[in-house]
Amino acid sequence: ASGATWQSSGRVSLLHNTVIETHFAKYSKQLYEKLHKEGHDIGFHEIGSIWIAQTPDRLHTLKRQYSAMRALGIDCEILKTEKVVEKIPIINQQ
C-alpha cells in the first residue's frame, strides 16, 4: 500500500494536553499560513475540527484545553449539543 492515511495526512491540531504542545502547534499553523501567503504551494488548507465529550471527565479535559487555547489567543469555542447537531446532522444526541 502507498499514500497517506488520514492519521498521517499532515493535520495540524491545536488541541493538546499541555500548553507547550498547544504553543508549538499554534506556531506551526502560523508558519504554514505564512509560507502559503508568500506563494509556497505547501497544500495548507485550514478546515477546523470538532471534539465531542461523551463523559463528564472528557468535558472537564476539553474545558481545560479550551482555557489554555484561549489564553494563547487561539480562536475556539465550546458548542452546545444543538449547535454540534446543526453542524454535523448525523450526530446521535442520545
Tell me the mean pLDDT in the region 71-85: 90
- Distance from C-alpha of 85 to C-alpha of 92, rounded to nearest angstrom: 8
Q: Is the pTM of this model over 0.85?
A: no
pLDDT digits (tens, 9 = 90+) for 35-55: 999 999 888 888 888 889 989
Burial of 38 (0-12, 13-18, 19+ CB in 10 A): exposed
Task: Show me where the domains of the chain are located.
Answer: 14-87
Confidence category of residue 18, pLDDT binned at 50, 70, 90: confident
Q: How many residues does the chain have?
A: 94
